[in-house]
Structure 1
């Protein structure tokens, strides 16, 4: 076994961004600019699946649930007692982190998730810190907050799923470069976006996943380019995993399955059994302790996984497509030519035996332990049931080849690619991506059904578009979708198909499979009376809604039809079509007739989109020639008939090609344009003036995306701002922007391939207490339709809590509370305490009081850089003099002080530079001085004024936030302005008075300093240490 290596760290990439659009430049915005609202897109229903082989399908009998792949998400569907299917969705962002961090064994420098290089703003951190810390995912709320991902973080399709036999975990495998294996918890209260563990050992795609029968091991197999098979030891309590065994596996594998404690892989001309190293028998207590500590030794090297090939004999050239285990050492294998084989692993020997030919290509197998049988599915939706007893060969024999089929035989209809038994029901997925649920009791051994199965409809190919429907309508549908092959489905918001139609497409003579005609666009009138379709070859067709009869069909364009716009009148309907032939065609449809009214060839590039606005007064068209043309409707009467024509009124020239246009909901004359250079622009259609623009990015990074399929949503006062919903082809995400603040509200992903179209549904409230419900429907090229619930509400953060407290302050006014006042203090000085002692001992000897120690005055240098203002502060005019200070002392202290003054200095050398003692007394303040000042100033007034100042500041902050968030008219605005103006004047006068007082104090300090200098000179000359007079 060889140990592989990887290049550490993600590679750098060069991105070429087109030049900006002309006109207004986006102003410099703060990186912390956020919206006043918060939004979320939650996946509600998924229509269709991307599962195409048994590796993308798994089941759990006890819970009657099965797992499927749907784009970049996994679906966990559960069948209830009334045979209704409920869905749960599991997906993780490219930058998501797991609950249990796991370090890669082969490249420990590579983290299990893409690091987040962005600097998060303080408000977002506060909002994320508000998440409850009781759950294990609270620490991960910041890294998994709804934000967009960088250009290096790509969405990967889910190709394999596996449910653990205990039903507690779901493993999901991705495709592409550096794929992940995500282990989710299937608990009802578990997170569907934060996995328990993320495994990142594989390099190129995950081919298959499988849990062991005990749920303690998970086998992951990479693609042929990856070439590795890993076995992980999984902790049953926490869901963490540790690499247990590994080996190379380079042949093409079709399916992976556990057979007891061994693995069996089947593929092209190979069947191989892999054995785990047998563990020594231990007591149940020790085994439980070992199971709990499987992840506590991350430095342990994985063991070698030994494998043994089966001898194929006559089946050496067969392709083995599926495998199912029937016991701990037995399995059943099927081939493309219809051979059903038995594999047995006993006493270290693997033996493969051919049982029979079923007469059709085997694509899927399922074990039914309740019925003690095997279900076999294959081409043309053929299903057979075989008892397990006949699958065990009693003696060696060679079955005849009467039931053998050709491996290259083509199916005339859909084939059963996946199947699983849920006890009383059998679930199948065919090649047409349709899910069917059969009742086992109504099926015979040959697959014949006595009653129709429950079918969950879906598109079989790429979904080209989605369009909303006006409610109510005769179909009770909310929207319809169409695919490339001409399939039309009408759906409601619950994902139920109301009706299906098919648009017949003409194929050119001699066309091969790679050059077939496709349906590109489909539009319907509001009353569903007419449907107009456009195909790849430029054919425009008109269908009647009730009978679905094609009444008209014309070659409108020389190439692909890109868009169709309808304007319905009382007796006719105007149809505008655009194509890649750079023309816009205008037709009139009435009484099953189609008349060409006008051909407009003003563009020099492919026309991308058409739009009728203001009840047909204007016709807009945008083209890849970087222009948007606005045409006005003109009418005239000819022979008693009104003839309509559209003439150019405005010609908007852009620097980059427009991709999508949408009318603004705030003003009827405003147009929103999305361009290739990743800008959203707004123009005035009346004047053609450029109003504003902003980059399609979020507030936390500089990554931008290209937007298409724009849809506007009007503002809901108090609930939602004006919204812009669109599709990003850059990261395959659905984005919602706040048009008022020009910031991203939310971005979600779900489609593995490109998102072809998106529409917004709005349901008005039925009662006054309800709110407007908004639903986003997205269609993808992967054949999946996703229904999202859009929720927008005002921000709820710590600022709102402060705002609420500020509102309480406003209601309470400026009333001062007693608890907000400073506590009262009155400390008696030494002199005051001495006065009490004198009154008690008035007849006795006065108690001597020790004079305070002299303070050493630092000698000032002549070259000192200290400003004179500091000197003035030391010689304050309010400082008491020496006589006043000593007069309050006792006679004993005064006599001692006089003796100290008369005594000569012990160091005559230092006498000339020594300051007199009265300087020290002048620069010091006794405690009584401070208390005397406190008596002159009221503490309660100072404390009350400071408290009131703090309260009014908090109140003004809260009031300012409320002004930003509310749009009510202020009735007492003038009175408020007058009070604020008077308050500002008082504050200005106080500030000016304080400045004047400080200036006067500085000047008086300089005068006092000048007066004291001669005194200092005289005292220096009269110093006893100098010996002179």
Structure 2
């Protein structure tokens, strides 16, 4: 199938420059790695492999994949990085080998289908073993120098389960081990005859689902972590299961990550957020006193040693990165990110260096230049659908899935007050008037409500009260977006019912309505020379971007916003010359407002873009997506 052009119309556009990324895909098993130079972290996010300096946090982005990166490996010498991706049923899933020193692609390997499950380099950088996913089921050995496949074979026998991990010997370029659900095999590579020969490990009556492995320094044993929370010791020479443990202190929710230390201890990461050490002795595994449970971090999916392991990093499924000191076994949280879909993004008024994002359970405030989280506000088990900063900086207003509007202090994140049961269903959209005195909220039932916020002073200090002053009931479905004019006298709301309505906020009545055969996701005002809104642009599920007059609701123009997918987010520059869109096609597009043509395209998101925003000084674009990724782009105009 020929790939469609991502551009709906116009001349060939330029490419947006990605400046930095905020995020870490903690769902990749073993996806956080410290390079042998000890200066750089390597990890995946979306379709990108990131090399990040531990000290300066400067990033180099390796971007050749066409979909989400699912596995990463680094060669023993550090000369090469390999990364594999997922794709769609019936399509090739690529493995890319990168030259680390030059930060460029060495070669692309394309024989697997659907998904790459695991990768492993031979100790002398001669070969790369690639393991396909459950829909592929094959294991292939590649010659790194010639960039060609040497041989391949099914990863498991037909009666067995599926393989999910692979590890190479430390001293031999012809020996590796694969394992998974109901399968554990030792493979010998015969380069001369272009064959790999598997031998099944004898497990007796023992049945385990193996998720991670480590080879001992002398290649005599391979240690396996299982979903049942124990470790297996396998004799590589005899291909026999030898011992299991710890018997009485298994790891809750399974062993999900491992690393082998020079003193013989095994660092273990577990599904219950535990990081601990295990000692193998006298044909048994025993837990030591070194153990730490990370608070609300999710599964520990990666353990990356820095040097000999005196310092190591842990990555978790909730996109946290921790740095550990092994001797004291104390952790420091060095990186956070969203792990579920990001629902909204907003800049404080007149500020381009800070921005806020919302997601399931949390609101985060970020510093753009350092990509560091400055503040996190948590409301357990609720989703924040939208946020807005008051212009005077007194509070952050937020819309939540429990039908409440909550207000917080921007600097401390302290809760101030809330509007309970603001709507009959969840609050789905939110906007503030420029004076910060009124909140306009939209709900899942389609209602638009206006709340007056008052400051009150009592013996206990300053408090806030709210009063419902207006209610508009014309939408028949979820309100998806609200924008307020600069004078605060009117607003426009977009809804899933296929209407955009202009409201008079002084009389709380409709002043204009627009109908379209779509579910609107986003809307923006276009301001004329007198700074009064004279047009609106809106888009949604029909992939079209419509221009309408605010005066009489007449259609001015309609352009194709995407060839294949919904448009979810839109923002316009202050001067109205350009606007930006993002949607389910994973592309960020910069448009000329007058021409209705795409000038630049940004590629990088691995899942649907949910929101996009231009910073107040029009220097940067920030886009967010369903996988929790935050991309910062240079604004081209």
What is aligned with 2:498? 626
What is aligned with 1:468? 347
1:325 and 2:215 correspond: yes
Deviations 1:180-220 (A, max 9, x none): 323243345444xxx43222211231111111111111111
Gaps spanning 5+ residues in structure 2: where? 289-293, 456-463
Change (3 A) 1:378 1:11: same
What is aligned with 1:377? 269
* Equivalent-residue separation in structure 2 for 1:33 and 1:384 (angstroms): 57
What is aligned with 2:459? none
Counterpart of 1:34 (choices 3, 7, 11) is 11
SS of match in other structure, 1:455: strand
Structure with the higher strand share, 1 or 2: 2
How far 1:594 moved relative to its partner? 0.9
1:645-656 alignment, distance < 5 Å: 645-656=507-518
How far 1:778 moved relative to its partner? 1.6
1:555 and 2:421 correspond: yes
* Equivalent-residue separation in structure 2 for 1:184 and 1:230 (angstroms): 14
* Equivalent-residue separation in structure 2 for 1:201 and 1:324 (angstroms): 26
What is aligned with 1:567? 433
* Equivalent-residue separation in structure 2 for 1:714 and 1:504 (angstroms): 36
What is aligned with 1:174? 85
How far 1:608 moved relative to its partner? 2.3
Gaps spanning 5+ residues in structure 1: where? 1-9, 14-30, 95-155, 280-301, 404-409, 506-516, 635-644, 698-702, 716-720, 764-772, 793-1029
What is aligned with 1:670? 535
Deviations 1:576-632 (A, max 9, x none): 111221211111111211101111112233332222113112221222333222223
Deviations 1:504-536 (A, max 9, x none): 56xxxxxxxxxxx43222222123322222222
Counterpart of 1:416 (choices 290, 300, 317) is 300
* Equivalent-residue separation in structure 1 for 2:323 and 2:285 (angstroms): 34
1:481 and 2:374 correspond: no
What is aligned with 1:692? 557
Counterpart of 2:177 (choices 236, 250, 264) is 264
* Equivalent-residue separation in structure 2 for 1:621 and 1:258 (angstroms): 58
How far 1:477 moved relative to its partner? 5.5
TM-score, normalised on structure 1? Answer: 0.55
* Equivalent-residue separation in structure 2 for 1:402 and 1:244 (angstroms): 41
1:388-467 alignment, distance < 5 Å: 399=284, 414-423=298-307, 424-440=310-326, 443-444=327-328, 448-449=329-330, 452-453=331-332, 455-467=334-346
1:708 and 2:572 correspond: no
Change (3 A) 1:328 1:232: farther
Change (3 A) 1:379 1:648: closer
Change (3 A) 1:658 1:319: closer
Change (3 A) 1:247 1:650: closer
What is aligned with 2:396? 531
SS of match in other structure, 1:594: strand
What is aligned with 1:367? 260
1:713-752 alignment, distance < 5 Å: 713-714=573-574, 722-729=577-584, 731-752=585-606
Change (3 A) 1:628 1:339: closer
Contact preservation (8 Å) 2:350, 2:616: no
* Equivalent-residue separation in structure 1 for 2:10 and 2:631 (angstroms): 31
Deviations 1:127-149 (A, max 9, x none): xxxxxxxxxxxxxxxxxxxxxxx
Contact preservation (8 Å) 2:272, 2:298: yes
TM-score, normalised on structure 2? Answer: 0.86
What is aligned with 1:62? 37
Change (3 A) 1:615 1:53: same
What is aligned with 1:227? 137
* Equivalent-residue separation in structure 1 for 2:287 and 2:276 (angstroms): 17
* Equivalent-residue separation in structure 2 for 1:417 and 1:494 (angstroms): 25
How far 1:555 moved relative to its partner? 1.0
* Equivalent-residue separation in structure 2 for 1:627 and 1:468 (angstroms): 27
Change (3 A) 1:556 1:74: same
How far 1:381 moved relative to its partner? 4.0
1:789 and 2:601 correspond: no
Change (3 A) 1:747 1:454: same
Change (3 A) 1:748 1:484: same
1:354 and 2:243 correspond: yes
* Equivalent-residue separation in structure 2 for 1:657 and 1:380 (angstroms): 41
How far 1:382 moved relative to its partner? 3.3
Deviations 1:766-795 (A, max 9, x none): xxxxxxx62111222212222222334xxx
Counterpart of 1:598 (choices 470, 473, 493) is 470
What is aligned with 2:118? 208
Contact preservation (8 Å) 2:349, 2:616: no
* Equivalent-residue separation in structure 2 for 1:262 and 1:495 (angstroms): 42
1:658 and 2:493 correspond: no
Change (3 A) 1:377 1:602: closer
Change (3 A) 1:596 1:86: same
Counterpart of 2:482 (choices 607, 610, 617) is 610
Change (3 A) 1:495 1:307: same
How far 1:434 moved relative to its partner? 0.5
Contact preservation (8 Å) 1:367, 1:420: no
* Equivalent-residue separation in structure 1 for 2:628 and 2:447 (angstroms): 30
Counterpart of 1:241 (choices 134, 148, 162) is 148
What is aligned with 2:19? 44
Change (3 A) 1:689 1:757: same
Provide the aligned length of Structure 1 versus Structure 2: 604
Contact preservation (8 Å) 2:570, 2:611: no
